[in-house]
Amino acid sequence: MSNAGFRIFKKVNRPDKDLIEQFKGLPVANIADEMNRFSCVDARIKRVNSTPLLGPALTVKARIGDNMMFHKALDLAQPGDVIVVDVQGDLVNSLTGEIMMRQALKKGLAGIVIDGAVRDVEALQVMDMAIYAAGVTPKGPFKDGPGEINVPVSCGGVVVNPGDILVGDADGIVVIRPQDAPVIAKKARAKQAKEQDTFKAIEAGTLDRSMYSDEVFLKKGCEIIDDYYK
């Protein structure tokens, strides 16, 4: 363990499948709200296709422009894993493309998240495996290393530890520590149900808007003027 920057930890402490499944179908926004609006990968990282993302992280810290460690991670990954690649947001070289992603799909991985670029994007767009990236460029990667596998990484401004649960939809991705997951899943499920009630109240015209009454604004010191802006 003395070669920081060029080392591979082969083992990942993956959470139980039952725990991961508790997040299935939950909107990422509802989950993030129940994490006090933290822990979301930033908006630079967008989905390449519409396959939902759900699974435990296998992490890669890649050298900029180099995907040797990412290739090794493909071999270490197990079905259902999400490979998270930290390449510090670099968009000069793509770190993956159709050949690698076909291998990931064949292995039954749940998805790939790259804080960096991809290529062969038309093939990735129709793949039945979640892929998220910060950009697209045809300029390919080198394969020399160094880098690390299964250490904490940074992805879209969020720390991702090996084994953390990633949930992604059209809005983006949220990262959950497994020890926090049971409570968050329960709260997010309740939040989702509450939003359904809100939608019904909107349709019925019965939604309570009293928290936006003039009185509330006046109490905050807001000036309310019954005239045109001149």
Ligand X SMILES: O=C([O-])CC(=O)C(=O)O
What binding mask, one character per residue, do residues 139-178 give for ligand X by CB under 6 A, x or -? -xx-------------------------------------
Binding mask 98-137 for ligand X (x = CB under 6 A): xxx------------------xx-----------------
The reply to whether 120 sits in an annotated binding site is yes
When CB distances are held under 5 to 8 angstroms depending on the partner's kind, the choice from Mg ion, ligand X, none that residue 39 binds is: none
One-letter amino acid of 114: I
Closest to 71 measured CA to CA, from 140, 162, 155, 153: 140
Residue nearest to Mg ion (CB): 97
- CA quadruple 90, 163, 184, 49: dihedral, nearest 10: 50
Residue placing its CB nearer to ligand X in the complex, 103 or 154:
103
Question: Is the CB of 26 or the CB of 58 nearer to ligand X?
Answer: 58
Q: Which residues bind ligand X (CB under 6 A)?
A: 67, 96-100, 119-120, 140-141
